[in-house]
Structure 1
Amino acid sequence: MKKVLVTGADGFIGSHLTEQLIREGFDVRAFCYYNSYNSWGWLDHAPREIKSELDVFSGDIRDPYGVKEAMKDCTHVLNLAALIAIPYSYHSPTTYVDTNINGTLNIVQAARELGIEKVVHTSTSEVYGTALYVPIDEDHPLQGQSPYSASKIGADQMALSFYRSFDTPVAIIRPFNTYGPRQSARAVIPTIISQLANGMDKIKLGAISPTRDFNYVKDTVQGFISVMKSEKSIGEVTNIGSNYEVSIGETAEMIADIMGINLTIETDEQRLRPEKSEVERLWASNQKAKDLLGWEPQYGGKEGFRRGLEETIEWFTNPKNLTQYKADVYNI
């Protein structure tokens, strides 16, 4: 049986991925960020049958010794550990270099030394910046429009450099804007839903004209598993996206329609990115994922997006889940 290490297993996508891998019969070691509360993040809320199968390693992706220890006896590593909030990267960019670039270096260096069969490194659509052409394929130029995106460009290139220099078996997965249950309110869809679910019909947002290619978390998870399983993905960068473009404003209106609320949007200045840093347009080409991996979204297009939003809203409006979000406070 393959033993898979998932870094960032305590987070939004990582927890969903960890649970699905266990359901599919993989032996999973969950690398969770060490804290004094012994919290496993979202994995604390996993079903008992999932938690009973977990091998949890508490550590810090910035620590090369702990990273290497966590990777021992593993055949595959899915590296999702990262700092991802764009606003926070404006005032704490060094932490993004330490976590995203040096953390990735720790992974690929240990993989080289331990003879890991495969490393799947997580990129982001933010590395493309504002689309120069659409749909965005994997040959699109990279543009660091925020310290976050710059750090992810550096991390991607670090991972690929080990493939090119040492034949370290690295594959890059580049998800577009993932959404779904458990996502942090630093992201726009949870921000909209949590405000509306708390009785606000006048909600605060940043820019609403930029477009995004939203990818439901179940599709993203299957993208990770497809990249991990495919021999063809080594040395490749693969977009995982829905191939459907929608504006933030249209997204808010669709959420309000599903929830049966008449919506008013107020612009909150603190939520606006600096002008040259805003990514105005993202729209994924997923042709390579279809050709290389046989992957395609189950929640694609407008109908699929609405279905994904309905499932997301159902989770967020559960009072037990909603109480974990501070809808009246801007989550940086």
Structure 2
Amino acid sequence: MDNYILVTGGAGYIGSHMTLALQAAGERPLVIDDLSAGLRRAVPEGVPLFEGSVGDSDFVGDIMDRHPIAAIIHFAASVVVPESVAQPLAYYRNNTANARTLIDCAVQRRIPHVVFSSTAAVYGEPDRNPIGEDQPTQPINPYGRSKLMVEWMLGDVARAHPLSYAALRYFNVAGADPDGRAGQSSPNATHLIKIAVQAALGKRDGLDVFGTDYPTADGSCIRDYVHVADLVAAHLDALRYLRAGHPSVTCNIGYASGYSVLQVIEVVKRVSGVDFPVRLQGRRAGDPAALVAANERAKTLLGWTPRYDDLETIVRHALAWERRLGA
């Protein structure tokens, strides 16, 4: 296969798993990453890496002109909800404006397919859980709004140009490659399971729980935690779906089951055998009480079949990766 699959943000947590999955599927991944959050060493050997911003049209256009691109899988983005509340313009630039530049470059070169990393944050405070894709999108933070704007752009572009897309609305991504080849490597990550396994291994002096007065069984937020390996499998499924000539689609990627923050902490303590300190704090801005995915669309249309739908398995893989990273 001569053409490349362009993976933006391919040196990051999810992107590095994606490049491994593409290689295993016989594809040719090519990575663009500005390395602001990603790591050069996270890009698998033999995969071309171009350091720069997807918001730089000359940079992106030159890469596309020199390397035939069959599809784009777009991960490059800022993803921290509280940070988006404090720095909204940075999120609208990095997530929305930069995506507009990338899509424009793709349209000019008639690249036919885009798989977009969207988010459950587009739903805001949902009316009910599990959340179906047809429920209202009413994000309550700049992060969610910055991603929803890209979905709107893709929808408009797909109606005006020969481009089809899959917008995958992730729920809470966690875990690490089951074979230990990749994982969440940033020491300052904000993912709950990452922070909890760091606390279990003594890399942090415990962790903070933000909000214990939500309308949930134990007062802490409920989230749908999806294994990163299952998430990247959904991207491969979406790519196959688009290549088969099917219309653009928006799908949730989650397990249709939720766990509270306090439940996750108990599982990490049990799997690790360590009782680390937990500090109860006030709520953070922009956090919905509960987000749980309805996932029948991904299973039915994309043929997505999760393999790691088990919180203890997710925690074991995250713990193994954190041990591999060392002190």
TM-score band, normalised by the shorter chain? 0.7 to 0.9
Residues in 2 aligned to 1:234 and 1:10: alpha-carbon distance in whole angstroms: 29
Q: Is residue 201–residue 261 contact of structure 1 (8 Å, CA) maintained in 2?
A: no
Residues in 2 aligned to 1:43 and 1:19: alpha-carbon distance in whole angstroms: 14
Residue number in structure 2 paired with 1:230: 241
Residues in 2 aligned to 1:169 and 1:110: alpha-carbon distance in whole angstroms: 15
Residue number in structure 2 paired with 1:56: 49
Residue number in structure 1 paired with 2:180: none
Give the helix-richer structure, 1 or 2.
Answer: 1
Residue number in structure 1 paired with 2:265: 252
Residues in 2 aligned to 1:234 and 1:180: alpha-carbon distance in whole angstroms: 31
Of residues 91, 102, 108, the one that matches 1:107 is 102
Residues in 2 aligned to 1:68 and 1:201: alpha-carbon distance in whole angstroms: 46
Residues in 1 aligned to 2:40 and 2:19: alpha-carbon distance in whole angstroms: 9
Residue number in structure 1 paired with 2:198: 194
Unaligned runs of 5+ residues in structure 2 are: 177-182, 213-219
Mapping for residues 214-225 of structure 1, pairs under 5 Å: 214-225=225-236
Q: Is residue 209–residue 261 contact of structure 2 (8 Å, CA) maintained in 1?
A: no
1:204 CA drift (Å): 2.3
1:132 CA drift (Å): 1.1
Residue number in structure 2 paired with 1:328: none
Judge which range, 165-174 or 308-317, deviates more.
Answer: 165-174
Q: Secondary structure at the match of 1:75?
A: strand
Unaligned runs of 5+ residues in structure 1 are: 324-332
Residue number in structure 2 paired with 1:205: 209
Mapping for residues 156-305 of structure 1, pairs under 5 Å: 156-181=151-176, 182-183=183-184, 184=186, 185-198=189-202, 202-207=206-211, 209-231=220-242, 234-269=247-282, 272-274=283-285, 277-300=286-309, 304-305=310-311
1:202 CA drift (Å): 4.7
Mapping for residues 288-327 of structure 1, pairs under 5 Å: 288-300=297-309, 304-318=310-324, 321-323=325-327
Residue number in structure 2 paired with 1:90: 85
1:34 CA drift (Å): 5.6
Deviations 1:170-220 (A, max 9, x none): 221112111123324211111111112107685323235110000000000
Q: Is residue 215–residue 242 contact of structure 1 (8 Å, CA) maintained in 2?
A: yes
Q: 1:149 to 1:228 in 2, by over 3 A?
A: same
Q: Report the AA paired with residue 252 of structure 2.
A: N
Q: Secondary structure at the match of 1:130?
A: coil
1:247 CA drift (Å): 0.6
Structure 1 residue runs of 4+, over 6 Å off?
Answer: none
Q: 1:191 to 1:224 in 2, by over 3 A?
A: same
Q: 1:32 to 1:190 in 2, by over 3 A?
A: same
Kindly report the root-mean-square deviation, in angstroms, between the aligned alpha carbons of the 2 structures.
2.0
Q: Secondary structure at the match of 1:262?
A: coil
Residues in 2 aligned to 1:71 and 1:199: alpha-carbon distance in whole angstroms: 41
Residues in 2 aligned to 1:87 and 1:233: alpha-carbon distance in whole angstroms: 37
Q: Is residue 125–residue 139 contact of structure 2 (8 Å, CA) maintained in 1?
A: no
Q: Is residue 10–residue 32 contact of structure 1 (8 Å, CA) maintained in 2?
A: yes
Give the count of matched residue pairs.
306
Q: Report the AA paired with residue 12 of structure 1.
A: Y
Q: Report the AA paired with residue 311 of structure 2.
A: F
**Identity over the aligned pairs, expressed in percent?**
27
Q: Report the AA paired with residue 224 of structure 1.
A: H
Judge which range, 105-114 or 175-184, deviates more.
Answer: 175-184
Residues in 2 aligned to 1:180 and 1:252: alpha-carbon distance in whole angstroms: 14
TM-score normalised to structure 1 length: 0.86
